[in-house]
Amino acid sequence: MITRIIYNLWHLRAVTCSTTSHLIHTSHVILFWEPDPKGGYLRDKPKPKAIELIRDGLKELRSEIMLWKDEMKEHIEGDPIVAYRRGEIDIMWQFSQPAALSQWVTTSDSDHKEGYSTCELSLSKGGNGLFTGTVSTQVPKDGRIKRAGYCNMRSMRPRRSFKRDSYFDWRMYSHIVLRVRGDGRSYMLNISTMGYYDIMWNDIYSYVLFTRGGPYWQVSKIPFSKFFLSSKGRIQDKQNPIPLDKVTHVGISAGDKINGPFHLEIDYIGLEFDPTHTEEFAYEMYTMPKYIVGV
């Protein structure tokens, strides 16, 4: 955004001074502005024609109007006062039906021709979500990729009617709770807070999800205060708590640098309020001079 503002001011000065002085024009170089929320991964995807967009929009018009009516009804009635009691878990995603799996997207390095890992999300024999695949740290011999080996499942972003982006508001909760059955490998639990400005598009708060092998289920209860901030895979020097009113995605990643198959069975992902948990942020930050510690 700063680069765009500077460029606009420079362009305005060039227009006003072109009649009185000779200017040497240089090419416009974008240094910070992100033109694509996906970081350019979808640049090769063909853009649909206008007639196709109109046709698809008319097909979804009925469902969007019904969603808008539900929004208006909820707004008029107002939210009821809910007493959050310890031990009660509000289920956000229950992985028991194929429709629930459609709310999630799986990706791996092979999808972008950056590796050879593969994964999928399906229903297990017991009727739960099953995140399976193979992690491969083999690097393609293209001279460009230096590291490989990841698989990821990620929830769809919440939205309002007519394709308007929305957020999860989890400020009334203190923990995220998962009931899983793993294979003994460690996974990364990710919470995205994709803000309005491009500098926040890649903000992800993460914490390790440890699993144990065997036939038994485990309930992992992780405080939001334990999550640490990273951007584009880099842990940030300047940390801060999760803005729980701006949550856009939840994801689970397999990328422990161990070659071979993995499987993670998921019953549900929910939220809980624990009044005994008073920690606001688990990581101590020291006061540093300006421009020493950056975001």
SS (H, E, C) the chain: CHHHHHHHHHHHHHHHHCCCCCCCCCCCCCCCCCCCCCCCCCCCCCCCCHHHHHHHHHHHHHHHHHHHHHHHHHHHHCCCCCCCCCCCEEEEEECCCHHHHCCEEEEEHHHHCCCCCEEEEEECCCCCEEEEEEECCCCCCCCCCCCCCCEEEEECCCEEHHHEECCECCCCCCEEEEEEECCCCEEEEEEECCCCCHHHCCEEEEEEEECCCCCCCEEEEEEHHHCEEEECCEECCCCCCCCHHHECEEEEEECCCCCEEEEEEEEEEEEECCCCCCCCCCCCCCCCCCCCCCC
From CA 235, how far away is CA 243, in angstroms rounded? 17
pLDDT value for 94: 95
Residue 263 and residue 180 in contact, taking contact as beta carbons nearer than 8 Å: no
- Give the start-to-end residue ranges of the domains of the chain: 1-33, 86-272
Reply yes or no on whether the pLDDT at 3 is more than 50: no
Reply yes or no on whether the pLDDT at 61 is more than 80: no
Reply yes or no on whether the pLDDT at 178 is more than 70: yes
Reply yes or no on whether the pLDDT at 21 is more than 50: no
**118-141 pLDDT, tens per residue?**
999 999 999 999 999 999 999 998
pTM: 0.75
Provide the CB-side half-sphere exposure for 160 (13 A, CA): 12
Q: What is the mean pLDDT of the chain?
A: 81
From CA 32, how far away is CA 139, in angstroms rounded? 28
Higher-confidence residue of 77 and 15: namely 77
Q: Which amino acid is at 101?
A: L
Reply yes or no on whether the pLDDT at 219 is more than 90: yes
Interacting residues of 162 by C-beta distance below 8 A, sequence separation 6+: 64, 68
* Measured CA distances, 125 to 131, 201, 210 (Å): 13, 37, 23
pLDDT value for 1: 43
pLDDT value for 69: 75
Q: Which amino acid is at 214?
A: G
pLDDT value for 292: 64
Backbone angles phi, psi at 4, to 5 degrees: -65, -40
Confidence of residue 9 (pLDDT cuts 50, 70, 90): very low
pLDDT value for 84: 58
**51-60 pLDDT, tens per residue?**
777 777 777 7
Reply yes or no on whether the pLDDT at 13 is more than 60: no
pLDDT value for 160: 75
From CA 284, how far away is CA 291, in angstroms rounded? 19
Please compute the mean of the pLDDT values over residues 29-38 and round it to a whole number: 60
What percent of the chain has pLDDT above 90? 49
Instruction: Give the Cβ contact number of residue 121 at 10 Å.
Output: 21
pLDDT value for 293: 58
From CA 107, how far away is CA 119, in angstroms rounded? 7
Residue 211 and residue 183 in contact, taking contact as beta carbons nearer than 8 Å: yes
Reply yes or no on whether the pLDDT at 109 is more than 50: yes
- The CATH number that domain 86-272 falls under is 2.60.120.430
* b (16+ CB within 10 A) / e for 156-172: eeeeebeeeeebbebee
Confidence of residue 99 (pLDDT cuts 50, 70, 90): confident
pLDDT value for 143: 84
Pairing of strands 186-192, 249-254: antiparallel
pLDDT value for 6: 40
From CA 170, how far away is CA 245, in angstroms rounded? 6
Reply yes or no on whether the pLDDT at 85 is more than 70: no
Reply yes or no on whether the pLDDT at 152 is more than 70: yes
